[in-house]
Structure 1
Amino acid sequence: MRFLVPFFAALTLALSAMPVLAQDAKAAPLSLEESQQQLAANLAVPFASGLVGAKDVPIFAWVENAAGIRNIWIGRPDAAARMRTRFTADDGIELYDLALDPAGTRIAWVRGGDSGFSDGPLPNTTPLPEAPQQTLFLADVAGDGTAQAIGRGHSPLFSPDGSRIVFVRGSAIMVWSANDGAREVADVDGSIGDLGWSPDGNRLTFRELRSGHSIVGVLDLAEGSLRYIGAALGFSSAPALSPDGREVAWIQFREPPPKFEDSTRSFWSVQVGDIASGAVRTVWTAPEGEGAQYYGTRARNLFWTGSGHLLFPYEGTGWLHILAVPAGGGPARDLTPNANEVENFIPTPDGRGMVYSANPGNLDSRTLWRTDIASGATERLTGEDVFAFFPTFGGERLAATVTTATAPAHPVLVEDMQPLGAVARVAYPTPRSVTFTASDGETVYGQYFRGAGAGPRPALIFAHGGPRRQMLPGFMPLYYYHNTYIRNQEFAAAGYDVLSVNYRSGTNYGRAFREAPEKARAGASEYRDILAGARWLGEQPGVDDNRIGIWGGSWGGYLAALALARDSDIFKAGVDLHGVHAMVRPVADTYSPEEIREIQQLQWDSSPMGSIEDWRSPVLLIHGDDDRNVDYRQSLLLARELTARDVPFEELALPNERHDFFRYSSWLTALEATGEFLQRKLKPAR
């Protein structure tokens, strides 16, 4: 076991005093042993996620992961944060779906299962003789006693009076109370999401996803009745109840057919339905042109405010902004005209304003802003020195998750930027935001980690996954990219120059960049950005352009494999974590047989398999065999094909691991192997 200590308070203090070891041309690169030791220590630094607040009081809760040991913490403005759970093992069992009751006296959460596939097969990454069940727990916020298991399921939500909890178990809606325990109140045909209580606690609204469409349901608990409102030939999503509970709003959209994927016809609208009568009216329809196809944030996308407005995202400017439209009808207004791209947003507790996270003025930033709905007046809440994500209210106090180049994700009170809990710091330098130009003229963005030592230095391209992601010049609020940021910093400390490429099809650079032509299976245009990054790296002072490698995971693994297959003369070695290697998939039946053959040929040509005859560079393949995002067979296929062609490769299989690697020990094994492999193949100077 390579765990340093079971709890990392002492480690946090030690890290804050560590000298800067990366991106210092005068410092000697770390040896492999030194690099692996520092990697293990820094991967163990606490990472916070899942921040939630109580409706009526400034009490907050979040999950902290320190070296794979996950625990729930409680924080408030007037007291030191306290750890509510007492788990002590790197067991790969997730804690998620935190919920506080309105008064902040009780907390519910889920332990077990996969937060990304809540209704899927249970993970067992430890492994244990039997996979841990997905279990909903309830505990007093102020207590230290054992939590009460109240049932199997996920997505808990307290009722307005705090006496009941609604949650999901497969296709069933469950309600728990102290008197009745957990009981099933409905069983439907699809998967359930976006649960909401009416203000009086008598009704539940939800979105039910079925095959190829979704609908909005209203469940009357008093009557025991279920009805669907405004069902249409498309997707009904993000239901939001009116403040009086008499109406429900939702976003109605259709996806354009593949043959017209660039259509500017209107494909979506905002609808409002009367719960008693079922009557539906259209409040707003997307105009034809830019933004006529629906695209939302990764969080909640429709709110009905106390001021009587509906708030929702819209890309009419080519950037994701937030519109406000009166629920009774009227013109829509852009509340974020200068935001560039809004990442997530929430209304203020009084219903008169909105807080959002965006990148105005600097595409590689993330700041919080407050806007008054009536006047449109906007106030900046955070500065340039932090990256701010996921605004969350506890009562009337605003909190958020923030990071910097040296501080991993942690919750703060936004008003004075006071941390809600302890903050770990790692002595990393700030990577430099850069731009460069691809062969077709596209501007590409990235972060440059300057390697230690005078040179000549090897260099690495890092390709993120998604592909709808954006890396920033600092720690990331997603655990996967928190870990890859650490790996890139440690590569720099070991003597590599690293360029993390935000290639086209990624987010936060506008719709045109995200929906770039010929991307992915339609021609892999994003690979032009990877290639341009390698050429840019090779021109940097002190870089040896004969020792450029590449690494990445998921879609980044696909791009790493594509680089090695197409351009082994440029990319001399690579690491491919759970990448996609054969891109051919079924084509919609709206195409003719001749068109289908042409499309699938293009899919093949866009795949690493399409260029495998030219692959010569060595590669390390890493994959967890219980991956639910990228089929493990993608790596089995590539290993077989490389073997047949005598292409040198090494392999690291992680039994029972999921795509994101649930255990610290798995991350450490994978990233140590990545460093050791590239050390042998690219040989940084000492």
Structure 2
Amino acid sequence: MRSLFLVLTALLLSPGPALAQVDVPDRAANAQSADLLAERLAIPFASGLVGAELAPVFAWVENTRGVRNVMVARAGEAPRQVTDYREDDGIEIYGLALSPDGTRLAFVRGGDASFPDDGLPNTAQRVEAPNQTVFFADLSSVSPPSPMGQGHDPVFSPDGRKLLFTRAGSIMVRAGEEDARRIADLRGNAGDFSWSPDGSKVLFLESRSGHSVVGVIDVAQSNLRYLGATLGYSSDPVFSPDGGSVAFIQFRDPPARFADSRKSFWSVRVADIATGAVRIAWSAPEGDGGQYYGTRGRNLFWTASGHLLFPYEGSGWLHVLAVPAAGGPARDLTPDANEVENFVPTPDGHGVIYSANPGNLDSRTLWQADIASGQTKRLTGDGQYAFFPTYGGERLAATVTDARSPAHMVLVEGMEPLGRKPTIAGYPAPENVTFTAEDGTVVHGQYFRGVGNGARPALIFAHGGPRRQMVAAFHPYFYYHNTYIRNQEFAAAGYDVLSVNYRSGTNYGRAFREAPGTGRDGASEYRDIVAGARWLAARPGVDPARIGIWGGSWGGYLTALALARDSDLFAAGVDLHGVHAMVRSVPDSYAPDEVLAIQRLQWDSSPMGAIDEWRSPVLIVHGDDDRNVDYRQSLLLARELTARGVPFEELALPNERHDFFRYASWLTALEASGDFFERKLEPSR
């Protein structure tokens, strides 16, 4: 078995178009589930797709068994591995950028993409934490990438000769072989950089305490100017095609006591760089879309045709609007899209490409809409899930998954893989199902039918976020790529598994995402977890006395809540870095006599609020350098369970972050989860 695994790994790491399709052996050929899990978790996962502005060149990161490397491909040519890293070292690679002509590449290695200036992760437990470093590669050369300096967010100038990056508020520019020079020091952390079309100015977004501002630096004049500052947030700044103006989204959050307000809280604004004058190009009407909500990607574009494109959910669903930058009525370009997840304009500026779920809320397909006529056409078919449309010159690519193939990069025309398309041939497609919670809410999920015909145990899987949606396929996010594998392997071991897309998740419309009483306000999404467990218990062959639950982050919170409230229903659970005490400071908009009642509700919505009823065993898993969920949440739970004599097991991962950076950490955590459920729920063999 070990030799098979080594051969498989060597094949997956080998470059060349001949290995674009890699079949992982079916589970029938391998009897040892632990080895199978290790093998499947080692499968290549691709992410971070970027394209060159003027050439059909694409770059992405490939993670194989924790070994991360940068891949580059020109449309129609074999991919090239630009880096040569060989260890599961827990060092992330992200922030890829290509020069407009596709001849140069920059990327970031080290640090944490989610917290770029907030301490250096050291998940491999080295004597010194690896630095966060910007690397540069000349793609016309075979020389390895060279370090440019410490920082993140690299961006090439329009001529490709200058490279900008930032670190802790300092903005640096390197030209040719010169040392990088500082062009600005800022109060807050900066990001969302872009160069003006003539390369003379740099546009950025600066995040400060409780607000954000848009700034422009004249590089030659060493001049810094802020545009359209407000008592709120600015986001997604973008230059006009002539470089004379900047558009941005301006919004503010409603006060907590008016969280469901239908007033208008946001607008799209245009600022003249020379004069600083600001005008409102579009303002959100009062109603469902009066509060700002964006997609999982860039949310404002200024097209070559003179339109501003941005998301809006006035219909109750997130759509893409187009408004003339010079002024005029807005037009919904995606009226039938249900929920748009990502979008990008076509290179000629006359259309928009978007990933959405029209006609099937549990799907994800690519579409193209013409701005002038509103006509749409579908670009991808059924059975595939397409995300993050990206142009390289005139060629369109996307990240694609299906039930058997994890995230890989594809040229949309002809659906030709840009690199490897690994496949686990033995994975059956989960079934999309719906069921109804006790209050009448219709809930969606994916059902993994366990092997075997005898009485089977069953598992609920609760995703994190909670702003997420699981699909009946591999997920484009690495965290849920791994949990999908674990659910498939649970089914192969004899468990029925139901992954629940509970309320407060995405892609089912604003009313579902903003459902009343979720989280700290009453945990109403927990009703969906209970409904899923009862749906599972009624499946033929499922033993209702052997239902477990597992999940991470918000899913860890729901796992702990289930065990605390309903140990009679949930016989065991695995809680990965969950939140256990939901009490937090109450916003200033509440009167002092209201604060205690609000915090009482927060407590009652927490696992801690029902912990005296907790009896079922649990495995607690947490990395102690988690910057998303404080490690103290699990320290608290372990103390409280100990005091009550509740059986629990623990897996502490020193130096690990929230989304475990090392393959070894994922394997350890998911193997421990399988071993725990095997001992507590005893699946049939």
Partner SS, residue 180 of structure 2: strand
Number of the residue aligned with 2:86 = 88
How far is the alpha carbon of 1:179 from its aligned partner?
Answer: 4.2
Number of the residue aligned with 2:303 = 305
Number of the residue aligned with 1:498 = 497
Residue 582 of structure 1 contacts residue 634 of structure 1 at CA under 8 Å; is this kept in 2?
A: yes
Amino acid in structure 2 at the alignment position of 1:197: W
Residue 24 of structure 2 contacts residue 422 of structure 2 at CA under 8 Å; is this kept in 1?
A: no
Among 223, 227, 235, the alignment partner of 1:229 is 227
Residue 619 of structure 1 contacts residue 649 of structure 1 at CA under 8 Å; is this kept in 2?
A: yes
How far is the alpha carbon of 1:650 from its aligned partner?
Answer: 0.2
Residue 134 of structure 1 contacts residue 152 of structure 1 at CA under 8 Å; is this kept in 2?
A: yes
Number of the residue aligned with 2:242 = 244
**1:59 correspondence with 2:57:** yes
* TM-score, normalised relative to structure 2: 0.97
Number of the residue aligned with 1:205 = 203
Residue 104 of structure 2 contacts residue 139 of structure 2 at CA under 8 Å; is this kept in 1?
A: yes
How far is the alpha carbon of 1:5 from its aligned partner?
Answer: 3.2
For 1:46 and 1:354, how far apart are their aligned partners in 2?
30
Amino acid in structure 2 at the alignment position of 1:5: L
For 2:598 and 2:7, how far apart are their aligned partners in 1?
53
For 2:636 and 2:589, how far apart are their aligned partners in 1?
30
Aligned length: 677
For 1:92 and 1:20, how far apart are their aligned partners in 2?
28
Alpha-carbon deviations, 1:109-164, whole Å to 9, x = none?
00000011111100000011100000000011243322111111001010000000
Among 382, 386, 403, the alignment partner of 2:380 is 382
Number of the residue aligned with 1:487 = 486
Aligned residue runs from structure 1 range 581-620, under 5 A? 581-620=580-619
For 1:131 and 1:312, how far apart are their aligned partners in 2?
40
How far is the alpha carbon of 1:17 from its aligned partner?
Answer: 5.9
Partner SS, residue 291 of structure 1: helix
> Higher relative contact order by CA 8 Å / sep ≥ 6: 1 or 2?
1
For 2:6 and 2:216, how far apart are their aligned partners in 1?
50
Number of the residue aligned with 1:645 = 644
Number of the residue aligned with 2:144 = 146
Aligned residue runs from structure 1 range 391-402, under 5 A? 391-402=389-400
For 1:526 and 1:143, how far apart are their aligned partners in 2?
54
**1:108 correspondence with 2:106:** yes
Amino acid in structure 2 at the alignment position of 1:679: E
Partner SS, residue 368 of structure 2: strand
Relative to structure 1, the CA distance from residue 472 to residue 171 in structure 2 (aligned partners, 3 Å threshold; closer, same or farther) is: same
How far is the alpha carbon of 1:6 from its aligned partner?
Answer: 8.9
Amino acid in structure 2 at the alignment position of 1:167: F
For 1:43 and 1:141, how far apart are their aligned partners in 2?
31
Aligned residue runs from structure 1 range 546-565, under 5 A? 546-565=545-564
**1:8 correspondence with 2:9:** yes
Alpha-carbon deviations, 1:344-375, whole Å to 9, x = none?
10011111111010000111110001111111
Residue 584 of structure 1 contacts residue 604 of structure 1 at CA under 8 Å; is this kept in 2?
A: yes
Aligned residue runs from structure 1 range 563-578, under 5 A? 563-578=562-577
How far is the alpha carbon of 1:15 from its aligned partner?
Answer: 6.5
For 1:79 and 1:270, how far apart are their aligned partners in 2?
41
How far is the alpha carbon of 1:10 from its aligned partner?
Answer: 2.8
How far is the alpha carbon of 1:385 from its aligned partner?
Answer: 2.1
Residue 6 of structure 1 contacts residue 88 of structure 1 at CA under 8 Å; is this kept in 2?
A: no
Partner SS, residue 534 of structure 2: helix
Number of the residue aligned with 1:218 = 216
For 1:421 and 1:187, how far apart are their aligned partners in 2?
40
For 1:302 and 1:370, how far apart are their aligned partners in 2?
17
For 2:216 and 2:413, how far apart are their aligned partners in 1?
38
Alpha-carbon deviations, 1:27-74, whole Å to 9, x = none?
9xx97xx21111110000000000111111101111000000000111
Residue 22 of structure 2 contacts residue 421 of structure 2 at CA under 8 Å; is this kept in 1?
A: no
For 1:296 and 1:71, how far apart are their aligned partners in 2?
30
Residue 292 of structure 1 contacts residue 316 of structure 1 at CA under 8 Å; is this kept in 2?
A: yes
* Residue identity (%): 68
Residue 12 of structure 2 contacts residue 64 of structure 2 at CA under 8 Å; is this kept in 1?
A: no
For 1:313 and 1:9, how far apart are their aligned partners in 2?
44
For 1:475 and 1:607, how far apart are their aligned partners in 2?
31
Number of the residue aligned with 2:16 = none
Alpha-carbon deviations, 1:247-283, whole Å to 9, x = none?
0000011100000000000000010010000111111
For 1:355 and 1:548, how far apart are their aligned partners in 2?
43
Number of the residue aligned with 1:439 = 438
How far is the alpha carbon of 1:593 from its aligned partner?
Answer: 1.8
How far is the alpha carbon of 1:287 from its aligned partner?
Answer: 0.4
For 1:487 and 1:287, how far apart are their aligned partners in 2?
45
Residue 451 of structure 1 contacts residue 496 of structure 1 at CA under 8 Å; is this kept in 2?
A: yes
For 1:336 and 1:8, how far apart are their aligned partners in 2?
43
How far is the alpha carbon of 1:7 from its aligned partner?
Answer: 7.5
**1:670 correspondence with 2:669:** yes
Residue 564 of structure 2 contacts residue 611 of structure 2 at CA under 8 Å; is this kept in 1?
A: yes
Amino acid in structure 2 at the alignment position of 1:346: V
For 2:362 and 2:53, how far apart are their aligned partners in 1?
32
Relative to structure 1, the CA distance from residue 238 to residue 17 in structure 2 (aligned partners, 3 Å threshold; closer, same or farther) is: closer
Among 3, 22, 41, the alignment partner of 2:39 is 41
For 1:232 and 1:77, how far apart are their aligned partners in 2?
44
Residue 47 of structure 2 contacts residue 408 of structure 2 at CA under 8 Å; is this kept in 1?
A: yes
Residue 20 of structure 1 contacts residue 429 of structure 1 at CA under 8 Å; is this kept in 2?
A: no
Number of the residue aligned with 1:173 = 171
Amino acid in structure 2 at the alignment position of 1:150: M
For 2:382 and 2:555, how far apart are their aligned partners in 1?
28
Aligned residue runs from structure 1 range 448-463, under 5 A? 448-463=447-462
For 2:505 and 2:280, how far apart are their aligned partners in 1?
32
**1:19 correspondence with 2:26:** yes
Partner SS, residue 579 of structure 1: coil
Number of the residue aligned with 1:24 = none
Q: Return 50-59 or 490-499, whichever deviates more.
A: 50-59
Q: Return 564-573 or 71-80, whichever deviates more.
A: 71-80
Alpha-carbon deviations, 1:433-474, whole Å to 9, x = none?
000000000000100000000020000000000000000000
Residue 616 of structure 2 contacts residue 647 of structure 2 at CA under 8 Å; is this kept in 1?
A: yes
Amino acid in structure 1 at the alignment position of 2:298: R
Number of the residue aligned with 1:296 = 294
For 2:409 and 2:468, how far apart are their aligned partners in 1?
22
Moved over 6 A (4+): 12-15
Amino acid in structure 2 at the alignment position of 1:99: A
Q: Return 656-665 or 178-187, whichever deviates more.
A: 178-187
Unaligned runs of 5+ in 1: 22-26
Amino acid in structure 1 at the alignment position of 2:646: V
Amino acid in structure 1 at the alignment position of 2:68: R
For 1:394 and 1:10, how far apart are their aligned partners in 2?
28
Number of the residue aligned with 2:410 = 412
Residue 490 of structure 2 contacts residue 674 of structure 2 at CA under 8 Å; is this kept in 1?
A: yes
* TM-score, normalised relative to structure 1: 0.97
Alpha-carbon deviations, 1:266-308, whole Å to 9, x = none?
0000100100001111111100111100000121100000000
Partner SS, residue 290 of structure 2: coil
Partner SS, residue 666 of structure 1: helix
For 1:425 and 1:228, how far apart are their aligned partners in 2?
50
Residue 319 of structure 2 contacts residue 333 of structure 2 at CA under 8 Å; is this kept in 1?
A: yes
Residue 249 of structure 2 contacts residue 268 of structure 2 at CA under 8 Å; is this kept in 1?
A: yes
Relative to structure 1, the CA distance from residue 167 to residue 17 in structure 2 (aligned partners, 3 Å threshold; closer, same or farther) is: closer
Among 400, 403, 412, the alignment partner of 2:401 is 403
Amino acid in structure 1 at the alignment position of 2:338: N
How far is the alpha carbon of 1:18 from its aligned partner?
Answer: 2.9
For 1:6 and 1:225, how far apart are their aligned partners in 2?
57
For 2:538 and 2:639, how far apart are their aligned partners in 1?
36
Number of the residue aligned with 1:626 = 625
Amino acid in structure 1 at the alignment position of 2:147: A
Aligned-residue Cα RMSD (Å) equals: 1.5
Residue 27 of structure 2 contacts residue 36 of structure 2 at CA under 8 Å; is this kept in 1?
A: no
For 1:175 and 1:666, how far apart are their aligned partners in 2?
37
For 2:492 and 2:109, how far apart are their aligned partners in 1?
37
